[in-house]
Amino acid sequence: MHRTARRASGGAALLLAATLVLTACGPQSQGGGGDETTGTSTETDDGGSTELSIVPSVQIDIEGAEVEATEGGDPADPAGDGSAECAEGTAIAMAGALTGPNAALGLNILYGAQLAVDEFNAANPGCQVTIKEFDTEGDPQKATQVAPQIVGDASVLGLLGPAFSGETAATGDVFSQAGLLSLSASATNPDLTKNGWTNFFRGLANDAVQGPSVAKYLVNTKSFGSVCVVSDNSDYGIGLAQQITEGLGDAANDECAAEVKTGDKDFSAAVQIISGADADAVFYAGYYAEAAPFVQQLRDGGVDIPFVSADGTNDPQFVSQAGASSEGAILSCPCGPAPDDFAAAYEESAGQAPGVYSVEGYDLATIMLSGIASGVADRAGLIDYVANYSGDGLARTYEWDSAGELAAALIWIYEVQ
């Protein structure tokens, strides 16, 4: 944000009062430097600003027990060795909501994938892969219209997507019968892998994995005896909340369980309920857009118990929107921490900071690209390649079981500090 003296006084002049120019200079002089996106500066008149950011703390397994973080993990580089050769016009497709109200998630994935493709193309003059965008608006009906186009485009070797569980369910048969790899970066509904589709893989733990791990961690390690589980009404939120509630067992406090709606900005009733209940922690199953105002309103409402949430909230936007209220929040994620240089490259390429599923988009595109680099030239080959793939990505180790779920899914716990 550009805060120059000229603009400030210009704005004040716009608002007529000459005296105000003086007062307007006040805050301007105090507006010390602050990183706008990744951290947040706590500005107060008595000076002092603290930087908050999401910091990885521990890695846990399905029982919630802490696991020593295996250092090392050499994330795959999309650039490969630079000697890839492939047919001209080779393409991968990306399908998801690119416009409309749900566009943010789709774009995160697309930009991540785009970054991987750009790096690949730059390093491999002998193989220029294009990424074809298909917009589903997150609408299952639209997805059914888009799917035949993807299938019908012979240059497409593999599909990154669909993004949401709903559209995946609606179009799964299309891709399955066409034998087109469908590698989803964000569809978490556990049932999706039960359809017998051999072409479907997902690049993240489904809700059934993350939920119990975090629940056990909260009960066993953090010793929370009573947790309020609040979920939004998205596919993701509901699924996760169910898993968490089950995993928590007796520790899940029915009295203060609440459901909010995606897009809500006001959670006063949920705050009231939680402040009335005698709970040790709040678990929020949903996305950062709601989590940020929610945690803020919790703190404003005088609720100081720990705030726990999952990968949907594990986003720099959460911290920048919620500010100091986000301090101490515990965020789980099946994803590993995104290296700083990834974040920088991403911002360079996409013009915005990486968000939810950006890393998955990057990793999964990288896997497809490495397949192409290894000489795969048809759809069936790419499915085989992915099915047998095993390797580290930025976020985690990728290796799939026969159903298309990640074989090993460890969960990272982060904390806002």
Partner 1 sequence: MSTSTPAPQPSSSGAPTSMPPAGRVATKDRPHGGVGDRLRLWWDALPRPTQWLVGVPFVLFMALVPILNIPVLTTVGTNFGGVMAQFGMIALIAIGLNVVVGQAGLLDLGYVGFYAIGAYTVAILTSPDSPWNQAGEGHWLGREWAWLAALPVAIAITSLSGLILGSPTLRLRGDYLAIVTLGFGEIVRLLADNLDELTGGGQGLRGVAYPRLGVTEDLPNGVFSAGNAAGTLNSGVWWYWLSLVFIVISLLFVGNLERSRVGRAWVAIREDEDAAEIMGVPTFRFKLWAFVIGASIGGVAGALYAGQVQFVIPTNFNVINSVLFLCAVVLGGQGNKLGVILGAFIIVYVPNFFLGRTELFGIPINGNEIASYRYLFFGLALVVLMIFRPQGLIPVRQKLLTYGRELYVAARRSAHVVAPRGGSDGGARPGTPAVATASGGAGGAAPVAGGPTADGPGTARSTTNEEETR
Partner 2 sequence: MPALAEALVHSATAGPLVHQSLIDFNLAGLGRNFWGLTIEGLTYGAIYALVAVGYTLVYGVLRLINFAHSEVFMLGMFGQYATLLLLGFYPSGNAYDKGILLTVLYLGIAMLGGMIVAGGTAVGLERVAYRPLRKRGAPSLVFLITAIGMSFVLQEFVHFVLPKLTGGTLGGVNAQQPIRLVQPEVQFTIGGAPVTNVTLVIILSALVLALATDLFINRTKFGRGIRAVAQDPVTATLMGVSRERVIMLTFLIGGILAGAAALLYTLRVPNGIIYSGGFILGIKAFSAAVLGGIGNLRGALLGGLLLGVMENYGQVVFGTEWRDVVAFVLLIVVLMFRPTGILGESLGRARA
Using CB under 8 A as the criterion, which residues of the chain lie in contact with partner 2 when the complex forms?
1-3, 7-8, 10-12, 14-15, 20, 23-28, 31, 34, 36, 40-46, 101, 103-104, 107, 233, 255, 258-261, 263, 265-270, 272-273, 275-276, 289, 292-293, 296-297, 300-302, 317, 319-326, 351
E strands in 51-104: 54-60, 66-67, 91-96
- Shortest distance, CB of residue 206 to partner 2, whole angstroms? 24
Given 22, 50, 73, 261, the residue binding partner 1 (CB under 8 A): 261
Q: Which is nearer to partner 1, 137 or 363 (CB)?
A: 137
Q: Which is nearer to partner 2, 41 or 206 (CB)?
A: 41
- Give the one entry of partner 2, partner 1, none that residue 258 binds, where binding means its C-beta sits below a cut-off of 5 to 8 angstroms depending on kind: partner 2
Q: How far apart are CA 417 and CA 413, in angstroms?
A: 13
Q: How far apart are CA 117 and CA 131, in angstroms?
A: 7
Burial of 265 (0-12, 13-18, 19+ CB in 10 A): exposed
98 binds partner 1 (CB under 8 A): yes
Q: Which is nearer to partner 2, 42 or 349 (CB)?
A: 42
Given 44, 49, 50, 233, the residue binding partner 1 (CB under 8 A): 233
Q: Which is nearer to partner 1, 102 or 124 (CB)?
A: 102
275 binds partner 1 (CB under 8 A): no
- Give the one entry of partner 1, partner 2, none that residue 21 binds, where binding means its C-beta sits below a cut-off of 5 to 8 angstroms depending on kind: none
145 binds partner 1 (CB under 8 A): yes
- Give the one entry of partner 1, partner 2, none that residue 170 binds, where binding means its C-beta sits below a cut-off of 5 to 8 angstroms depending on kind: partner 1
Q: Which two tokens stand for residue 402?
A: 């026969």
- Give the one entry of partner 2, partner 1, none that residue 302 binds, where binding means its C-beta sits below a cut-off of 5 to 8 angstroms depending on kind: partner 2
Q: Which SS3 state, helix, strand or coil, does residue 52 take? A: coil
Q: Which is nearer to partner 1, 165 or 326 (CB)?
A: 165
Is the preceding peptide bond at 162 cis, omega within 30 degrees of 0? yes
189 binds partner 1 (CB under 8 A): yes
- The closest of 262, 201, 149, 153 to 401, measured between CA atoms, is 201
- Shortest distance, CB of residue 269 to partner 1, whole angstroms? 14
- Give the one entry of partner 1, partner 2, none that residue 134 binds, where binding means its C-beta sits below a cut-off of 5 to 8 angstroms depending on kind: partner 1
139 binds partner 1 (CB under 8 A): yes
DSSP assignment letter at 400: B
Given 34, 140, 225, 323, the residue binding partner 1 (CB under 8 A): 140
Q: Which is nearer to partner 1, 241 or 373 (CB)?
A: 241
On whether the CB atoms of residues 92 and 131 are closer than 8 A, the answer is: yes
- Shortest distance, CB of residue 366 to partner 1, whole angstroms? 24
Would you mind telling me the total number of residues written for the chain in this entry?
417
Question: Treating both helix axes as pointing N-terminal to C-terminal, what angle do 379-387 and 358-373 enclose, rounded to 10 degrees?
Answer: 120
- Give the one entry of partner 2, partner 1, none that residue 196 binds, where binding means its C-beta sits below a cut-off of 5 to 8 angstroms depending on kind: none
Q: Which is nearer to partner 2, 96 or 371 (CB)?
A: 96
Given 33, 47, 72, 152, the residue binding partner 1 (CB under 8 A): 152
On whether the CB atoms of residues 100 and 139 are closer than 8 A, the answer is: yes
Given 259, 347, 384, 399, the residue binding partner 1 (CB under 8 A): 259
User: Which residues, in sequence order, are bridge partners of residue 91?
Assistant: 130, 156
Q: How far apart are CA 121 and CA 80, in angstroms?
A: 10
- Shortest distance, CB of residue 149 to partner 1, whole angstroms? 5
On whether the CB atoms of residues 169 and 192 are closer than 8 A, the answer is: yes
* Helix locations, 66-139, DSSP H: 103-123
Q: How far apart are CA 60 and CA 63, in angstroms?
A: 8
Q: Got the DSSP string for 335-392?
A: SPPPPHHHHHHHHHHHSS---TTHHHHHHHHHHHHHHHHTT--SHHHHHHHHHT-EEE
Q: How far apart are CA 75 and CA 52, in angstroms?
A: 27
Q: Which residues of the chain form contacts with partner 1 (CB under 8 A)?
A: 98-99, 133-135, 138-142, 144-149, 151-152, 165-166, 169-171, 173-174, 176-178, 189, 191, 232-235, 237-239, 259, 261-262
